[in-house]
Amino acid sequence: MTNMRKWNYVIAIIVAALGIGVIAINSKFDIEFGVGDPGAGFWPTLLGGLLILLAILLAVMTTKNKEKDEAKTFTMTLPQNMLVYKFMALTVGFCVVMYIFGLLIAALIFIPICSYMLGGRGKAVIILDVVFVLVLYLAFVELLHTPLPEPIWLR
């Protein structure tokens, strides 16, 4: 068990590092204003900057509420936190499955698992899954003519 103040600073450092990493990775992509398309690096760089801004905000708020956060305790192994950790692992699994099998298959697997973890049962979960993936396909591939991430063997 430890106090919330300490963990807020740890999270702020991690989020700021992620933001700096995103900006560094995207520095090789062009950002051009005034030509209609701001370039491939614009949105990722903007999101990296937002991560840094939010990390600074968290650090400032933690410093401002020092006594209040010092009194709060935080235990990582509480049963209430375990569902969050399971979803984090599931999200990593989703990314791996999407890289190997493509977005559509990953979504067909991921949505029912998430629904089950949140208490969803029955045929409605499967129907929702199929309808969501169908709408996803129709909206992006057919309507917007945007390719979805494909399985690794089709690249």
- Please tell me the predicted confidence (pLDDT) of residue 39: 75
* Sequence spans of domains, the chain: 1-74, 76-155
Q: How far apart are the first and last CA of the chain?
A: 47
What's the predicted TM-score (pTM) here? 0.65
The list of the chain residues with pLDDT below 50 reads none
What is the pLDDT at residue 6? 84
pLDDT tens digits for 36-75? 777 778 889 999 999 999 999 999 999 998 877 777 777 7
Strand partners for 3: 73
Q: What is the pLDDT of residue 138?
A: 94
**DSSP label at residue 147:** P
